[in-house]
Chain A
Amino acid sequence: MSRGLFAWVSTLLQVWLLLPLAAIVYASVATDAVPVFPPTGITLHWYAAAYDVGSFRRGLEISLIVACLSTVLAMPVGLTAALALARWQSPWRAPIETALMAPIFVPGLVIGIALMMAVAASGLDIGFGRLILGHTLMIFPYIARTTYASLAVQDASLEEAARTMGAGEFRIVWSVQLPLARPGIVAGTIFAFIMSFDDVPVALFLADARTTTLPLAVLSYLEYNFDPAVAAVSAAQVIFTFFAAVLLERLFGLKRLWGAGNG
């Protein structure tokens, strides 16, 4: 395939991928209850309507709580995992690194079912806690990977220099390695937060009537209603995610989320 053709095809594909998002944003600001073209008018009415839906408000609250708490929990787990990978010379390092990719290539449904069965088998009734724990487990690898990628490219002589200056391991980690890995840590944390906030498949299996997250509320609303309020909620999420992605790219470069520790 020639270079010019390739550019055209890839542009078309990207437009194709982004079209539904554009359609959602379009539907959310058009006056009409059923999308028509051209729109009869432009309005923010549907955003207000969405805000009036009680399950959306409650869902947003729950999603934010779950995303915040599971990110806070995932952070120490992810950081320690990354530090272990970066500092531990062992043949187990490569397999563990691969295992940390699991949430990226194991379907969310599988993770959801597995977590549900594990929680059921444990016999623990921890209500809200199980969704938070499930999300923690699902998102900590993102923090671990970006942090590890940042640690892996650090000049080893920094660590050695600190050592000759009398620094112990804890001080080396705390005063040298982690501060320098900050872009990776922040990027991973933002990404982890989004993964939790947007999640459907895992929440589907771990949530109950009291813990219906926003994406689940949207799903159940759609079963009985079809109006642009849903589009408004989705558009809001798209816009939120878009700005988070811009922030991520600024801080870290999205590519390094997926690359091996060579970013």
Chain B
Amino acid sequence: MAELVLDCITKRYGGTAVVDALSLSLPSGKLLTLLGPSGCGKSTTLRIIAGLTPADSGRVHLGGRDVTALKARARNVGMVFQSLALFPHMSAADNIAFPLRVEGVSGRDRDRRVGKALDLVRMGGFARRYPDQLSGGQRQRVALARAIISNPGVLLLDEPFSALDRRLRDEMQEELRSLVGRLGITTVFVTHDQEEAIRLSDLVAVMRAGRIEQLAGPRVVYNAPRTPFVADFMGSVNFVEAEIANLAGDQVTVRLGQSAFAVPRPTDLDGAPDLGVLINVRPERVTLADTPPAAGPALAGTVTNRVFDGAFVTYTVRLSERPERSWIIRRLSSEGPATASDAVWLTWPADATQVMVSHANRSSNSR
């Protein structure tokens, strides 16, 4: 059952649609990430779900109930703000108890639930500490406990980990993941960090200019981006123009220079043969060779840069056919030097090819 449904939500600020006819449906107990660059409308969408910002049009359903007209205080959501918004004049325990006080949960029952919530986020020994006496990670945990203590229908998080250093962030992601999994809370998480989105989510919605570009599981968004924007945002920067030679059933034959190869047909791809498309290959799927492969996709190029960064060597290769495009190739450094000379052939498994319609308005800042 869908716990959260957004139906054609639009929000404008002075003529610009910050959220543009956005619809989505999130099954109960799943964790959805709204992922996108700043200004893509992800935080506004979250605020609309919380009821802190009214939508201009569209409906919000929580737990099967239309809550569009309800104010934030009546929606039963738990929210963790970017600033965490812990009350500085209250101890950790009092912060966590606040929603219960509002509900009118009394003395002993309240203490018991606060104690349980503190244990849940492993903060049992810190009940009496004030926010300014807690470390960054401890504050995160208190904010999280406060957001879930009154069993909200959805948990909303607005880039809560962006201020943490990398190690702490990894730790908190892990903890959030397991906490949400154990409690089975439907969760919406806003971030601009694609790695964070992939690690945390059951579903990722990549947003751009108030719309969802792609909504899918993290593996799909990562390995099979549907638009150049999504590919680029997921760090898959290798694009080149190609043509559709043949569309047959669920296969599509792509012609790229001298080579032609068949790949599974994306559901949103139709139209005539000779259609111009853009293909995209993830940097880690490409291999370098001195000679052209016998079959399969191939491109000639020149290595213009090599960067050794520990586990990987990153090559920059300028394409011979299209010198305005350079590809990034990441190979394990343990493989040793890939080629003898700078003139190389790029090749990859045909099924690593993503085929996208190259609408002018979709062409992104491919490198």
B residues in contact with A167, CB < 8 Å: 73, 98, 102
* Neighbouring A residues of B73 by C-beta, 8 Å: 163-168
Contacts of B309 in A (CB 8 A): none
Q: How far is the CB of B139 from chain A (nearest CB, A)?
A: 13
Expressed in whole angstroms, the Cα–Cα distance for A168 and B101 within the complex equals 12
Chain B residue contacts of A179, Cβ below 8 A = 89
Interface residue B176 (Cβ < 8 Å from any Cβ of A):
no
Task: Pick the contact of A157: B71, B81, B88 (CB < 8 A).
Answer: B81
Residues of A within 8 A of B85 (CB): 155, 157-158, 160-161
From A157, A164, A166, A176, B83 is in contact (CB under 8 Å) with A157
How many Å lie between the Cα of A179 and that of B87 in the bound state? 10
A87 at the interface (CB under 8 A from B): no
| A164 and B52 form a contact (CB under 8 A) | yes
Give the contacts of A178-197 with B (CB-CB under 8 A): 179-180
Q: Which of A163, A175, A176 contacts B72 (CB 8 A)?
A: A163
Closest chain A residue to B72, Cβ basis: A163
Chain B residues whose C-beta falls within 8 Å of the C-beta of A171 in the assembled complex: 102
Cβ-based interface call for A162 (8 A): yes
Docked Cα-Cα span, A168 to B72, in Å, equals: 10
A155–B74 Cα distance when bound, in Å, is 22
Residue of B nearest to A161 (CB): B85
**How distant is B36 from chain A, measured CB to nearest CB, in Å?**
21
Q: Which chain B residue has the least Cβ–Cβ distance from A160?
A: B52
Give the residues in chain A near B51, CB-CB below 8 Å.
164
B278 to chain A, nearest CB (A): 41
Chain A: minimal CB distance from B221 (Å): 29
Q: Which residues of A contact B88 (CB under 8 A)?
A: 180
Find residues 17-61 in chain B having any chain A CB closer than 8 Å to their own CB: 50-52
Q: B283 near A: Cβ within 8 Å?
A: no
Docked CA distance A134–B217 (Å) = 69
**Which of B82, B89, B146 contacts A165, CB < 8 Å?**
B146
Decide yes or no whether B79 CB sits under 8 A from chain A: yes
Return chain A residues, CB-CB under 8 Å to B81: 157, 160-161
Number of A positions contacting B (CB below 8 A): 17
B208 → A minimal CB distance (Å): 26
Nearest CB of chain A from residue B223's CB, rounded to whole Å: 36
A113→B85 CA distance, assembly (Å) = 49
* Smallest CB separation, A157 vs chain B (Å): 4
Q: Mark B156-187, 1 if CB is under 8 A from A, else 0.
A: 10000000000000000000000000000000
Q: B82 contacts which chain A residues (CB < 8 A)?
A: 157
Q: A163-B73, A166-B73 are in contact. Are A155 and B99 (CB under 8 A)?
A: no
CB pair B98 A165 closer than 8 Å = yes
A window 139-161: CB within 8 A of B: 155, 157-158, 160-161
Q: How far is the CA of A164 from the CA of B99 in the complex (A)?
A: 9
Q: Is the CB of A162 within 8 A of B89?
A: no
Q: Confirm or deny: B109 has a beta carbon within 8 angstroms of a beta carbon on chain A.
A: no
Determine if B78 is an interface residue (Cβ-Cβ < 8 Å).
Answer: yes
The distance in angstroms between the C-alpha atoms of A201 and B103, with both chains bound, is: 52
A253 vs chain B, min Cβ distance (A): 18
CB-based contact A164/B89 at 8 Å: no
Within 8 A of A (CB), among B59-86: 71-79, 81-83, 85
Q: A153 CB to closest chain B CB, in angstroms?
A: 12
Contact A166 B89 (CB under 8 A): no
Give the complex CA separation of A112 and B99 in angstroms.
49
**Chain B residues in 8 Å Cβ range of A164:** 50-52, 72-73, 75, 77-79, 156
B131, chain A: closest CB distance, angstroms: 11
A168 and B71 CA atoms in complex are apart in Å by 10
Chain B residue contacts of A166, Cβ below 8 A:
73-74, 76, 99, 102-103, 150
On whether A161 and B79 interact (CB within 8 A), knowing A155-B85, A176-B87, A180-B89, the answer reads yes
A9 to chain B, nearest CB (A): 41
The distance in angstroms between the C-alpha atoms of A158 and B88, with both chains bound, is 9
**Residue pair A165, B52 in contact (C-beta under 8 Å):** no
In whole angstroms, how far apart are the Cα atoms of A157 and B99 in the complex?
A: 15
Residue of A nearest to B71 (CB): A163
A171 to B73, CA, bound (A): 12
B132 to chain A, nearest CB (A): 13
A123 to B82, CA, bound (A): 58
CB distance from A24 to the nearest CB of B (A): 42
Q: Could you say which residues of chain B place their CB within 8 Å of the CB of A162?
A: 87, 98
A260 to B348, CA, bound (A): 65
From residue B163, how far is it (CB to closest CB) to chain A in Å? 14
Q: 1/0 per residue A102-116: CB within 8 Å of B?
A: 000000000000000
Residues of A within 8 A of B99 (CB): 165-166
Residues of B within 8 A of A163 (CB): 52, 71-73
> Can you name 5 A-B pairs with beta carbons within 8 Å?
A164-B156, A165-B146, A166-B102, A180-B87, A180-B89
Supply 20 further A-B pairs (C-beta < 8 A) apart from A161-B85, A167-B98. A155-B85, A157-B81, A157-B83, A157-B85, A158-B85, A160-B79, A161-B79, A163-B52, A163-B71, A163-B72, A164-B75, A164-B77, A164-B156, A165-B102, A166-B103, A166-B150, A167-B73, A168-B73, A180-B88, A180-B89
Lowest 5 CB-CB distances: which A-B pairs, in order? A161-B85, A165-B99, A157-B85, A164-B79, A166-B102
